[in-house]
Amino acid sequence: MHPTARLQLLETAGFADYALIDSGDGRKLERFGKVVVDRPEPQALWRPRRQKPEWAQAHAVFSGSEDEDTEKTRGRWRIDKPVPESWPVRLRDVTMLCRLSSFRHMGLFPEQLPHWEWMIDQLGAIRSEPPRVLNLFAYTGAASLLAARAGAQVTHVDASKKAIAWAKENQAASQLGDAPIRWMLDDAQKFAKREVRRGKTYHMVLVDPPKFGRGPDGEVWDLFTHLAPLMRDCARLLDPDRAALVLTIYAIRASALAFDQLCREVLADRGGAFSSGELAIREADGARALPASLFTQWVS
Ligand SMILES: C[S@@+](CC[C@H](N)C(=O)[O-])C[C@H]1O[C@@H](n2cnc3c(N)ncnc32)[C@H](O)[C@@H]1O
């Protein structure tokens, strides 16, 4: 079959503590726990379905100019109703603390839920030893905590001190203080290379890079230049017996086909099954699905 025939739409309809209430006119209205936020969403080209008074219920509105490509956001939050500095959002059996952070983010990307559920299923199938998970560009740690809850030994890598501190707060909020999570403040590329040299292997590798980023020592991350060598290293880090990989890419102009073909190349000698396409979040009334990210999944 030609790879284009394989592109898929992987959707979440939200969960008890998260809903995409509406979208349109370049915005999205969402509920994270008890807090409703109105944020820019350039891909919401259609008209909102809910009336203005419903949008006006938002606790906070992010506005101002933004550039999805460079993540240079000059906008700011306008707070219309009291919002705690951070508040809990229950995600399956972990707790994520959400915040109104700069760059309009909340500390949680709910569109990733289908991958996290798939990851938990894959980890459950490894019975011979505790599964090892490598989470690169791991941010506030949702995947790390869900994997730890599923019994995995987790290596969590992020270049931002702030993100690691936030992920540790989420660990404490989830009562996973004793879980075997290695917190690595490091450049994802350097770390992966070092692990290859050490002969380390993992049953699950998660890669969720931004378009541009910086390692802790200013190492440049430019997706179109550095993704291919990183994925070659990730392929070397996969357990030879049983392994799986998830690559997700957001906020860039590209096709899922590009990442599908890269992963097929770096994993050519492994066989296995691939699936690639887009992640989307379905609106609470089921009307439309808002595109959120591109992905490739592989399992041996
Ligand atoms: C927004 S995120 C990924 C989202 C996350 N995986 C999730 O679903 O919750 C991108 C992360 O990459 C990190 N980052 C950027 N450049 C990096 C680099 N060179 N090495 C490691 N992490 C980097 C950022 O600090 C940020 O936390």
Strand partners, 158: 185
pLDDT tens-place values along the chain, 300 residues long: 555 457 899 999 999 999 999 999 999 999 999 999 999 999 899 999 999 999 999 999 998 765 544 555 568 999 999 999 999 999 999 999 999 998 889 999 999 999 999 999 999 999 889 999 999 999 999 999 999 999 999 999 999 999 999 999 999 999 999 999 999 999 999 999 999 999 999 999 999 999 999 999 999 999 999 999 999 999 999 999 999 999 999 877 788 988 999 999 999 999 999 999 999 999 999 889 999 999 999 999
SS3 readout for the chain:
CCHHHHEEEEEECCECCEEEEEEECCEEEEEECCEEEEEECCCCCCCCCCCHHHHCCCCEEEECCEECCCCEECCEEEECCCCCCCEEEEECCEEEEECCCHHHCCCCCHHHHHHHHHHHHHHHCCCCCCCEEEEECCCCCHHHHHHHHCCCEEEEEECCHHHHHHHHHHHHHCCCCCCCEEEEECCHHHHHHHHHHCCCCECEEEECCCCEEECCCCCEEEHHHHHHHHHHHHHHCECCCCCEEEEEECCCCCCHHHHHHHHHHHCHHHCCEEEEEEEEEEECCCCCEEEEEEEEEEEC
Q: Which atom of ligand 1 is nearest to the CA of 219?
A: 19
* Residue-level pLDDT at 66: 55
- How many angstroms does the Cα of residue 211 sit away from the middle of ligand 1? 10
Atom of ligand 1 nearest to the CA of 160: 25
Q: What is the pLDDT at residue 69? A: 45
Closest ligand 1 atom, CA of 213? 16
Q: Could you identify the atom of ligand 1 that is nearest to the CA of residue 248?
A: 6
Nearest to 14 by CA among 236, 248, 286, 225: 286
Shortest-distance Cα residue to atom 12 of ligand 1: 137
Task: Retrieve residue 87's tokens.
Answer: 């508040």
Q: How far apart are CA 247 and CA 46, in angstroms?
A: 28
Instruction: Identify the residues whose C-beta falls under 6 Å from ligand 1.
Output: 109, 112, 137-140, 142, 157-160, 163, 187-188, 208, 210, 213-215, 219, 221
Ligand 1 centre from 49 Cα, in Å? Answer: 33
Ligand 1 centroid–CA 138 distance in Å is 5
